[in-house]
C-alpha cells in the first residue's frame, strides 16, 4: 500500500522489483489454488501495488519484475492484464515458466530422492513443488521487450539480477558480476530491512510510520549505492546494510544461487553520506548443476490456543493450565477411539520461556499461556479448541481470554527440499502469446568454499576485566533457512572482531541456546565487514510452518544473543558508551 507509490513517485526509477515469496508463502498459495483454480498468486501485487501505480509506471517507462506469480504466474499475468485493459493501458507482460516440478515427483520418488536436510523419503502426495529458478529467463524476457516480467518461484535476488544482466550485458559466465548483482538483490529483497528496519540500534531510526523503501544505484562494475526516497523515514546506514547482507545467507563464502556461487566475505560497506551507503563488488564462481526445490505436503492439522493469566505465580499457573488441557483432551480422544496427538507444545509468553536456563525473569504476574497441538484428524483438534475455554472458569484464578473466540484448526503444511538437475527442467517465458525457450548453463561448480581462515587470534591482556553484554560490542540480525538459524554478528569496531570470535565459540553459543539448538554450530569469518556468521543446525523445531514455536523463523535469536554477557578487558569496557536498554 505504501512502498510502490513511494518509490514510483520518486520519479527516477528504471525498474520496480517485488519479492513476495517464502517457503511458507508457497504453501499458503498452494492451499488457495486448491480451493480456487484461478488463485495461487500474490493478489496484493495486482489489486493493491500495481493498481496504485500502473498509470505512472506506464507514463514513466518503468519496467516491473516480480515473483508474485507464486504457483500460478499465468493467472497473475491475466489479472494484471485485465487491470491494465480496464484502465486503457497497453502492457507487454512476460511470464517465466519452468519452476513447477510437481509432474516429476513420481519419477523422483522411484529414484529414491530424499530430503536434502533430513534424509526422509519424498511423500506420496505434495501440495506444491517448485524449483528456485535464476535470473537468466528474466533477462531474456526483458530483452524480448517485456514491460512487466512475472515469475513463479525464483530466488529472491533474481528479480534484481535479471534487470542488471539485461542492462549491463552481463553474461552467464561473468561470475563476479553475477555475484555482485545477486548481493544487490539480497540487500533490498526485504524492503525496509535495508533502510533501518530491524536494526540493532532501533532507537536511532526515526519515523517508522513513514519508513523509506530502498533504492539502489547500480554500476556496471558490480558495486552499488543503497539509498531511499528523500523526505521518508528510516535511515540508510552502514551497520544496517551490513546486518542485511548477513541475513539468512548461511556460508557467506558459498551462497549458492542458480546463476552463481557467491562469495561475500571480502565485500566492503562504506557510508558515503546521509542515507547513502556504498557496497563493493562481490566475488563469484560457477554455479552447481542443480536447482534447489522447495516442496510442501499436508501433514495433518494444527490448533494453537491461548489464555491470559494474571496474579501471583502466573507463569506456574499458566503451565499447569496448558498441561491440564492436553491431559483432558488426551483422555477424551482415547475414550473416543481416536489416535493421540502427534505432538504438543507449551509456551508461557511473558516469562522468558524461550530463554530456558538463560532466563533472568523473576516470577511473572502477567503472562499468556500458549498451547499447541498437532493431530492427523481435524475433528480431534476441534475437541482441543473447545476444551481450552473451560480453563477460564474451572482452574487457575486470574485467568481471562484475550478475545477472538475459539481458536481455529488449520492444515499443517510441512516443507521439504531436494536438488533437481538443471538440464532436466525446461525453462521458458511467454510473451504476446508466444513461448520462447531459455538456455540454462549446466553449472560446473561444486559449491565448495575456499578457506579464508579465522581472524587474528585474540591475545588476553592479563589485566583487569569486566563483563559487558554483546550488544555493547556488536550489531546482529537473525533469520532462518528451514530448520537452520542464521545469526550475523558485526563488530562495532573492527579491532574487536578477534575478541568476539574468541568469546562466541561454538561451545559458548551452544550452551547459551542449549534449550533451542539441537545440532552443530558453524562459524564463518567475513573480513570485509569485520563480522562473523553463525549457522545453528536443528534450531527451529523444524522451521517455518512445521515449527510449533512462537518464533518459528528465528527472528528473535539475534536479540537473545545480543544479551549474552562476555568478559572483556577493562580498557574495552571503559571505552563503551552508556549501556543500552
Same domain, 564 and 504: yes
Q: Report the 10 Å Cβ neighbour count for 443.
A: 23
pTM value is: 0.95
Domain termination site, one of 376, 392, 413: 413
Domain termination site, one of 378, 413, 448: 413
Count of structural domains within the chain? 3
Residue 115 lies in a domain: no
Residue 89 lies in a domain: no
Asked if residues 99 and 130 have their Cβ atoms less than 8 Å apart, the reply is: yes
Same domain, 276 and 311: no
Q: Tell me the C-alpha distance between 286 and 504, whole Å.
A: 32
Torsion over CA: 532, 538, 539, 542 (sign): positive
Same domain, 263 and 346: no
Residue 93 lies in a domain: no
Domain termination site, one of 413, 432, 449: 413
- Buried residues in 361-392 as b, exposed as e (16+ CB within 10 A): eeebeebbbbbbbbbeeeebbbbbbebbbebe
Per-residue model confidence as pLDDT tens for the chain (581 residues): 789 999 999 878 999 999 998 777 877 887 788 788 889 999 999 999 999 999 999 999 999 999 999 999 999 999 999 999 999 999 999 999 999 999 999 999 999 999 998 888 988 888 889 999 999 999 999 999 999 999 999 999 999 999 999 999 999 999 999 999 999 999 999 999 999 999 999 999 999 999 999 999 999 999 999 999 999 999 999 999 999 999 999 999 999 999 999 999 999 999 999 999 999 999 999 999 999 999 988 899 999 999 999 999 999 999 999 999 999 999 999 999 999 999 999 999 999 888 888 888 778 899 999 999 999 999 999 999 999 998 888 999 999 987 678 899 998 988 889 999 999 999 999 999 999 999 999 999 999 888 888 899 998 888 899 999 999 999 999 999 889 999 999 999 999 999 999 999 999 999 999 999 999 999 999 999 999 999 999 999 998 888 999 999 999 999 999 999 999 999 999 998 877 66
E strands, 455-520, are 465-469, 474-481, 484-491
Residue 227: alpha-carbon gap to chain centroid: 22
Residue 77 lies in a domain: no
Asked if residues 83 and 50 have their Cβ atoms less than 8 Å apart, the reply is: yes
Q: Which residues contact 93 (CB under 8 A, 6 or more apart)?
A: 77, 80, 81, 146, 147, 148, 149, 150, 431
Quickly list DSSP for 118-152: T-PBPPS--SEEEE-B-SHHHHHHHHTT-SEEE-S
Same domain, 267 and 368: no
| Domain enclosing residue 269, as ranges | 191-288
Residue 454 lies in a domain: no
Residue 480 lies in a domain: yes
Residue 51 lies in a domain: no
What does residue 24 show for φ and ψ, rounded to 5 degrees? -65, -40
Amino acid at each position: 500500500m505504501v512502498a510502490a507509490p513511494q518509490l514510483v513517485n520518486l520519479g527516477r526509477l528504471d525498474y520496480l522489483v517485488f519479492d513476495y515469496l517464502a517457503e511458507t508463502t508457497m504453501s499458503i498459495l498452494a492451499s488457495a489454488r486448491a480451493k480456487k483454480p484461478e488463485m495461487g498468486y500474490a493478489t496484493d501485487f495486482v489489486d493493491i501495488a500495481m493498481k496504485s501505480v500502473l498509470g505512472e509506471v506506464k507514463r514513466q517507462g518503468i519496467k516491473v519484475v516480480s515473483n508474485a506469480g507464486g504457483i500460478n504466474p499465468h493467472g497473475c499475468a491475466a489479472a494484471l492484464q485485465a487491470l491494465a485493459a480496464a484502465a486503457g493501458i497497453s502492457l507487454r507482460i512476460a511470464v517465466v515458466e519452468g519452476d513447477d516440478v510437481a509432474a516429476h515427483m513420481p519419477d523422483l520418488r522411484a529414484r529414491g530422492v530424499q530430503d536434502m536436510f533430513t534424509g526422509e523419503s519424498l511423500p506420496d502426495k505434495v501440495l506444491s513443488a517448485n524449483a528456485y529458478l535464476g535470473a537468466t529467463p528474466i533477462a531474456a524476457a526483458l530483452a524480448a521487450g517485456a514491460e512487466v516480467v512475472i515469475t513463479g518461484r525464483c530466488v529472491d535476488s533474481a528479480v534484481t539480477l535479471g534487470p542488471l544482466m539485461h542492462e549491463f550485458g552481463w553474461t552467464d559466465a561473468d561470475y563476479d558480476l553475477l555475484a555482485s548483482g545477486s548481493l544487490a538483490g539480497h540487500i533490498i529483497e526485504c524492503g525496509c530491512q535495508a533502510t533501518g528496519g530491524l536494526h540493532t540500534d532501533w532507537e536511532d531510526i526515526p519515523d517508522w510510520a513513514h519508513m523509506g523503501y530502498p533504492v539502489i544505484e547500480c554500476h556496471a562494475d558490480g558495486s552499488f549505492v543503497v539509498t531511499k526516497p528523500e523526505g521518508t523515514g528510516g535511515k540508510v546506514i552502514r551497520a544496517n546494510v551490513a546486518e542485511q547482507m548477513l541475513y539468512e545467507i548461511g556460508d557467506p563464502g558459498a551462497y549458492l544461487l542458480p546463476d552463481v556461487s557467491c562469495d561475500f566475505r571480502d565485500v566492503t560497506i562504506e557510508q558515503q553520506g546521509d542515507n547513502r551507503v556504498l557496497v563493493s563488488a562481490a566475488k563469484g564462481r560457477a554455479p552447481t548443476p542443480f536447482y534447489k526445490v522447495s516442496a510442501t505436503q499436508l501433514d495433518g492439522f494444527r490448533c494453537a490456543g491461548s489464555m491470559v493469566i494474571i496474579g501471583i505465580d502466573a507463569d506456574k499457573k499458566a503451565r499447569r493450565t496448558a498441561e491440564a488441557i492436553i491431559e483432558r483432551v488426551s483422555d477424551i480422544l482415547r475414550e473416543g477411539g481416536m489416535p493421540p496427538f502427534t505432538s504438543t507444545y507449551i509456551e508461557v509468553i511473558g516469562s522468558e520461556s524461550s530463554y530456558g536456563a538463560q532466563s533472568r525473569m523473576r516470577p511473572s504476574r502477567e503472562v499468556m499461556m500458549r498451547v499447541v497441538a498437532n493431530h492427523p484428524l481435524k475433528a480431534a483438534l476441534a475437541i482441543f479448541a473447545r476444551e481450552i475455554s473451560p480453563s477460564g472458569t474451572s482452574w487457575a484464578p486470574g485467568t481471562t481470554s484475550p478475545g477472538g473466540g475459539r481458536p481455529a484448526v488449520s492444515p499443517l503444511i510441512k516443507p521439504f527440499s531436494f536438488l533437481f538437475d538443471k538440464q532436466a527442467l525446461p525453462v521458458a517465458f511467454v510473451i504476446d502469446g508466444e513461448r520462447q525457450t531459455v538456455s540454462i548453463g549446466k553449472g560446473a561448480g561444486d559449491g565448495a568454499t575456499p578457506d579464508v581462515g579465522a581472524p587474528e587470534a585474540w591475545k588476553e591482556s592479563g589485566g583487569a576485566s569486566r563483563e559487558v553484554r554483546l550488544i555493547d560490542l556488536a550489531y546482529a540480525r537473525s533469520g532462518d533457512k528451514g530448520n537452520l538459524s542464521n545469526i550475523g554478528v558485526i563488530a562495532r569496531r573492527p579491532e574487536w572482531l578477534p575478541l568476539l570470535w574468541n568469546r562466541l565459540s561454538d561451545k559458548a553459543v551452544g550452551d547459551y541456546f542449549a534449550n533451542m539448538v539441537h545440532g552443530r554450530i558453524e562459524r564463518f569469518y567475513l573480513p570485509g565487514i569485520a563480522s562473523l556468521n553463525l549457522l545453528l543446525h536443528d534450531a527451529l523445531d523444524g522451521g517455518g510452518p512445521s515449527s510449533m514455536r512462537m518464533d518459528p523463523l528465528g527472528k528473535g535469536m539475534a536479540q537473545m544473543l545480543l544479551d549474552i554477557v562476555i568478559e572483556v578487558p577493562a580498557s574495552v569496557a571503559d571505552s563503551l558508551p552508556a549501556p543500552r536498554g
